[in-house]
């Protein structure tokens, strides 16, 4: 999970840097509405609950849909939905399996740094829900991994490359905070963004 928090700090730095006067021009400075989507993986890290893990957690599959608006060339807002499944962690008492979803509202900072390239920092508010997906063995201890949780400020970062003046490829990574009381989540994915 440490790499997600390091990525988060980088996201905050990018948010701050985006406010500086940057001279790069081009599609990556477009303002207005956009939509996008990505596919990738969701990592879940179980915090200690008195169970002994028998192997590393498996990364689940995830998909994200987003809609946003660039108010200026550096600042924007975004709403997104992330669905995921295939999360799995083996313990001596059984196997925890989960799926779920997360809804987020984010503030964005954009830093164009070269022709067609931009770094985007993100700070989000989200609500995440984790549901059981066929856990086996003694499942009573898994209750602290499931449920709904709200997360306040969660940093993230993405790299964008403009293929055309409206279409961009995105690569993103972010911490998603808690899912249930004792599960920490992180998302990484690749996708497309279309500007109107």
- Predicted local distance difference test score (pLDDT) of residue 25: 52
Q: Pick the more confident residue, 178 or 160.
A: 160
- Predicted local distance difference test score (pLDDT) of residue 151: 81
- Six-digit token string for 148: 């709904």
d(CA 51, CA 188): 27
Question: Which DSSP category does 144 fall into?
Answer: G
- Predicted local distance difference test score (pLDDT) of residue 4: 46
- Predicted local distance difference test score (pLDDT) of residue 19: 42
- Predicted local distance difference test score (pLDDT) of residue 79: 98
- Six-digit token string for 29: 């400075």
d(CA 57, CA 169): 29
Give the tens place of pLDDT for each residue, 72-88.
999 999 999 999 999 88
Exposed (0-12), middle (13-18) or buried (19+): which is 152, by Cβ within 10 Å? exposed
2-19+30-163+171-195: CATH topology is Porin (2.40.160)
d(CA 133, CA 6): 30
- Six-digit token string for 105: 């509202």
- Predicted local distance difference test score (pLDDT) of residue 167: 96
With 80 as the cut, is the pLDDT of residue 175 above it? yes
- Segments of 51-116 assigned E as strands: 60-70, 75-91, 94-114
Average pLDDT over residues 30-42: 95
Q: Cα dist. 146→119, 134, 168 in Å?
A: 34, 12, 35
With 80 as the cut, is the pLDDT of residue 193 above it? yes
Least confident window among 32-36, 58-62, 121-125, 176-180: 176-180
| Residue ranges of domains in the chain | 2-19+30-163+171-195
The torsion angles phi and psi of 4, rounded to 5 degrees, stand at -70, -40
């Amino acid at each position: 999970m440490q790499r997600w928090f390091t990525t988060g700090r980088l996201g905050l730095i990018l948010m701050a840097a985006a406010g500086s006067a940057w001279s790069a021009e081009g599609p990556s400075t477009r303002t207005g509405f956009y939509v996008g989507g990505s596919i990738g993986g969701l990592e879940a890290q179980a915090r200690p609950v008195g169970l002994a893990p028998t192997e590393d957690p498996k990364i689940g599959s995830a998909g994200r849909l987003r809609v946003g608006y660039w108010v200026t060339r550096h600042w924007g807002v975004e709403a997104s939905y992330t669905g995921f499944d295939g999360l799995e962690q083996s313990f001596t008492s059984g196997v925890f399996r989960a799926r779920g979803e997360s809804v987020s509202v984010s503030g964005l900072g954009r830093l164009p740094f070269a022709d067609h390239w931009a770094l985007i920092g993100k700070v989000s508010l989200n609500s995440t829900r984790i549901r059981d997906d066929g856990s086996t063995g003694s499942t009573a201890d898994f209750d602290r991994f499931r449920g709904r949780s709200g997360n306040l400020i969660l940093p993230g970062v993405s790299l964008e490359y403009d293929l055309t003046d409206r279409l961009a490829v995105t690569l993103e990574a972010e911490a998603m905070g808690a899912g249930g009381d004792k599960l920490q989540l992180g998302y990484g994915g690749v996708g497309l963004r279309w500007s109107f």
